[in-house]
């Protein structure tokens, strides 16, 4: 690897995650599907109140907040947001006040979704929860609260949805470098990296880290909420900010893969392929996927394998972004 993680050392960072996360073979699943060799990068094992991919982002975001002497953390997302839960956990660990702005997601299960899963953990972690209607006012409400806090003499830090800013995405530039070192140590040469993409920070960060390492391994993002056009529109500014922070040449967006074929019927609503993937990983590998992100990404990988997109000699690394806490909000579907 000719790249270096040195550019990352110039950014403020706090230790929140259990790193490095494991890189493990999915031997039984690979056999059941007839290949390729599938490995899983276990970012569900980052710690911090159940773990997940946002913890890596929050190391840099909270570092930035502390450097700016902020004392109140605000963020937003869906009612069962894994990001909101991890943000609440980071704030609790660092002794900062935290308020979450969470919106209802049409089409999701009702009873457990409205009180269990991540929402239960948000309250347990001491975060204030503002429930918002799904009418597009979420970010406006959060910004108004931030201004109110400033008038009260507080110093709020607004964490973007999904932690997906250039600062947050640095966590996944670091993850890419970590993954490459693990592959070298295990004498693996991955032919593909596979992941879920939502707010865009994880994908942008991984692309930046691969660029730092001058790696040409293709990366596929499986959209969890949008068409390819909409997803790339979300990804574009995060890519620009992340690559700009690291002094890297911006990639051609036409070369970035955002697969739109598996997200319907919509964000937070698992389709039959998602439910099959969740069940299959549980019974074959004792690994819990979530119904919003990793379940849809794995459903996409399984579908592509069945279509013959990979040979039995190929090696695919699947990024597990966490989120199993949300399963308890989907009991009626599972």
Exposure string of 111-149, with b = 16+ CB inside 10 Å and e = fewer, is: ebbeebbbbebbeebebebbebeeeeebeeebeebbeeb
CB 84 within 8 A of CB 112: no
Rg for the chain (alpha carbons), in Å?
A: 19
Query: Comparing C-alpha atoms, which of 158, 99, 165 is closest to residue 132?
Result: 99
**CA-wise closest residue to 270 among 283, 285, 289, 286:** 289
Kindly list the strands in the beta sheet with 128-132, ordered across the sheet, starting from the edge strand earlier in the chain: 128-132, 97-103, 72-78, 156-158
Q: How far apart are CA 290 and CA 286, in angstroms?
A: 13
* Element housing 283 (H / E): helix 272-285
CA angle 29, 34, 40 (to 5 degrees): 35
CB 301, CB 194: distance < 8 Å: yes
In a 13 Å sphere around the CA of 142, the CA atoms on its Cβ side amount to 26
Q: Is 320 helix (H, G, I), strand (E, B) or coil?
A: strand
Q: Pick the catalytic residue from 30, 81, 165, 199.
A: 81
Is 30 catalytic? The answer is no
Could you give the residue numbers annotated as active site?
Answer: 81
């Amino acid at each position: 690897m000719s790249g270096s993680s040195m550019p990352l050392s110039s950014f403020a960072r706090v230790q929140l995650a259990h790193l490095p996360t494991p890189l493990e073979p999915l031997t039984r699943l690979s056999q059941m599907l007839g290949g390729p060799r599938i490995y899983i990068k276990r970012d569900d094992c980052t710690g911090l109140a159940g773990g997940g991919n946002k913890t890596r982002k929050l190391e840099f975001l909270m570092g930035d907040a502390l450097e700016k002497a902020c004392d109140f953390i605000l963020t937003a997302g869906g009612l069962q947001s894994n990001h909101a839960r991890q943000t609440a956990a980071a704030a609790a660990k660092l002794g900062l006040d935290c308020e979450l702005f969470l919106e209802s997601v049409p089409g999701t299960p009702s009873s457990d979704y409205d009180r269990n899963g991540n929402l239960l953990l948000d309250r347990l972690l001491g975060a204030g929860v503002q429930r918002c209607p799904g009418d597009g006012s979420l970010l406006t409400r959060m910004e108004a609260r931030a201004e109110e806090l400033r008038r009260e003499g507080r110093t709020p830090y607004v964490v973007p949805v999904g932690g997906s800013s250039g600062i947050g995405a640095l966590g996944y530039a670091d993850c890419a470098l970590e993954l490459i070192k693990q592959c070298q140590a295990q004498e693996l040469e991955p032919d593909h990296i596979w992941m879920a993409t939502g707010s865009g920070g994880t994908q942008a960060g991984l692309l930046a880290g691969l660029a730092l390492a001058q790696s040409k391994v293709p990366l596929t993002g499986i959209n969890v909420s949008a068409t390819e056009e909409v997803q790339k529109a979300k990804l574009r500014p995060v890519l620009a900010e992340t690559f700009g922070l690291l002094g890297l040449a911006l990639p051609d967006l036409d070369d970035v893969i955002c697969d739109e074929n598996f997200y319907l019927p919509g964000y937070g609503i698992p389709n039959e392929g998602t439910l099959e993937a969740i069940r299959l990983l549980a019974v074959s590998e004792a690994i819990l996927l979530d119904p919003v992100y990793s379940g849809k990404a794995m459903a996409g990988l399984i579908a592509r394998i069945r279509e013959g997109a990979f040979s039995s000699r190929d090696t695919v690394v699947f990024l597990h972004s966490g989120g199993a806490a949300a399963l308890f909000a989907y009991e009626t579907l599972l």
